[in-house]
Amino acid sequence: MSRALLPHIDRRSFIKLSAVASLTLLVGCGSDDSPTDNTTNQKLLPIPELLQPDIIGNVKHYNLTIKESKHQFFDEAKTDTYAINGTYLAPTIKVIDGDEVSINFKNSLNEATTMHGHGMHVPAKMDGTPHQVIEPDKSWSARYRVKQKAATNWYHPHFMGKTADHVYKGLAGFIVVEDEESRALDLPDRYGIDDIPLVLQDRRFVNSQFDYTPTMQEVMRGYIGDTFIVNGAIKPTFEAEAKEIRFRLLNGSNSTVYELGFSDNRSFNQIATDNALLESPVALNRVTLSPGERAEIVVDFSGDLGKSVDLYEYKNSKTFLQIDIKKQATATTSLPNKLTSLVKLNPLNSATSRTFTLSGRMGSFQINGKSMDIDRIDEVVPLNAIEIWEVKNSMMVDHNFHIHATHFMIIERNGNSAGVAANERGYKDTVYIKGGESVKFIVKMVDYTDTKIPYMYHCHFLEHEDRGMMGQFVVT
């Protein structure tokens, strides 16, 4: 068990230890206090604990407890949270394509929830949707064989009508998928040293407690916090080696779109979209992520020893993270030009098109005129059929569209294939659709038929999802 492997470190011993290099690895979002750099008195970036599995037979068991906790966002007081194992957020689960895994959740909350593996390619009954409720004091396991390409995925609640509330309180963690191909690439992969997961969120606080009280207008337009946090810390510092650093960026917010870049406007390379590496790195100086979307980026700090730069959110003018490049590189990497090959389905081979129109008013939301009904199957999708799905945002407010079960590839934005940006030409499971815009994607279900238990498709702006902007499909 990971707890035994990573003994609890109290604050005092931590400060003493923090002079030691590479300690970042030991810092959980779960320790009661965030670590402090004793030279600058600034909080260091917490790195979610990398959870070690118990191996029983050939199955890797990851044991997680969902519970109420208190987390130190502020020096003066602790904040009531929900958390998994620690005090806010959750440990990182790292799996390899082909692994047999059992992700075991014990619900120690006083209310029911669920736990969905966002981006995981799993049978519907293992998907952790509103159909796999975990009642208080009960346990539930997502047991499956990992069968997908390397990706940065995540897990979070998906309980009917309460997803926004449960995520806001702190339930979210990474599932990092690796495969043989990704492991052979010369990419930064030392967890916590040059391979850094970042859960990006924003929150409102009143008297150091979360304030989750969206008005009707905020339900429609987004409940944006004034305090931006990363891995459960407010504007912490990451002490980087002077080399290429890989950041696994996750927009873990309820409903805020982030336009991310660096304070010196430097360029970086995006290497992965939601569900796989890109075929080649794409050079950018901004990357936009709507809620639920991920991007892996590699930024080269090899000539920057002694400098500081911020990971900055340009839409809301907020600093997420200060990066102090203050360590000599202890290993080097060199970003490859070719990362992977992606299967590109041919639209001419598609027999079926489906249209999903997003609408809503007065705090209620619909897809194709209907609000989510857990007892209604909206779409029946045959196995192995190539399909085109078009999603139209008929509103003036932003939405996105997320599908479970598998990934898709975007083929048009607003009726135009040239409208698909280079860094969107990869495997996606969530796509941002601005007010009045539309997106067409190509998709094929390749596994796991089940005529009864559905998968979901929905807007991942959580206030919209909870108020009806969700539907269900079965794969047959």
**Which positions lie near Cu ion, rule CB under 5 A?**
399, 459, 461, 464
Residue whose CB is less far from Cu ion, 136 or 436: 436
Residue whose CB is less far from Cu ion, 191 or 461: 461
Read off the tokens for 408. 């898709």
Residue whose CB is less far from Cu ion, 43 or 399: 399
CB of 456 to Cu ion, least distance (A): 14
Residue whose CB is less far from Cu ion, 131 or 460: 460
> Which three-class secondary structure state does DSSP give residue 103?
strand
Beta bridge partners of residue 218, listed in sequence order:
none
CB of 461 to Cu ion, least distance (A): 4
> Which three-class secondary structure state does DSSP give residue 287?
strand
Residue whose CB is less far from Cu ion, 318 or 464: 464
Return the residue matching tokens 């997420």. 320
Residue ranges of alpha helices (H) inside 305-360 are none
Handedness of CA 419, 423, 425, 427 (dihedral sign): negative
Residue whose CB is less far from Cu ion, 174 or 461: 461
CB of 111 to Cu ion, least distance (A): 24
CB of 459 to Cu ion, least distance (A): 3
CA–CA separation, 173 and 160 (whole Å): 19
Residue ranges of alpha helices (H) inside 37-175 are 163-168
Residue whose CB is less far from Cu ion, 106 or 162: 162
Chain-centroid distance, C-alpha 81: 19
> Which three-class secondary structure state does DSSP give residue 7?
coil
Contact 51, 197 (CB under 8 A): no
Residue whose CB is less far from Cu ion, 402 or 464: 464
Chain-centroid distance, C-alpha 228: 16
Return the residue matching tokens 């190509």. 442
CB of 259 to Cu ion, least distance (A): 18
Residue whose CB is less far from Cu ion, 128 or 222: 222
CB of 172 to Cu ion, least distance (A): 18
Beta bridge partners of residue 80, listed in sequence order:
70
Residue whose CB is less far from Cu ion, 158 or 235: 158
Contacts for 345 with CB less than 8 Å, ≥ 6 apart:
386, 409, 442, 443, 444
Contact 76, 35 (CB under 8 A): no
Contacts for 99 with CB less than 8 Å, ≥ 6 apart:
60, 145, 146
CA–CA separation, 425 and 144 (whole Å): 28
CB of 258 to Cu ion, least distance (A): 16
Read off the tokens for 420. 């698909």
Residue whose CB is less far from Cu ion, 109 or 367: 367
Upper half-sphere CA count for residue 49 (Cβ side, 13 Å): 29
CB of 475 to Cu ion, least distance (A): 24
> Which three-class secondary structure state does DSSP give residue 23?
helix
CB of 353 to Cu ion, least distance (A): 22
Which amino acid appears at position 136 of this protein?
Answer: P
By the 10 Å C-beta count (0-12 exposed, 13-18 middle, 19+ buried), 311 is classed as buried
CB of 396 to Cu ion, least distance (A): 12
CB of 458 to Cu ion, least distance (A): 8
Residue whose CB is less far from Cu ion, 249 or 469: 469
Residue spans of beta strands (DSSP E) within 109-156: 116-118, 139-145, 151-156
Question: Nearest-5° angle of CA 275, CA 60, CA 8?
Answer: 95
Contact 330, 241 (CB under 8 A): yes
CB of 469 to Cu ion, least distance (A): 5
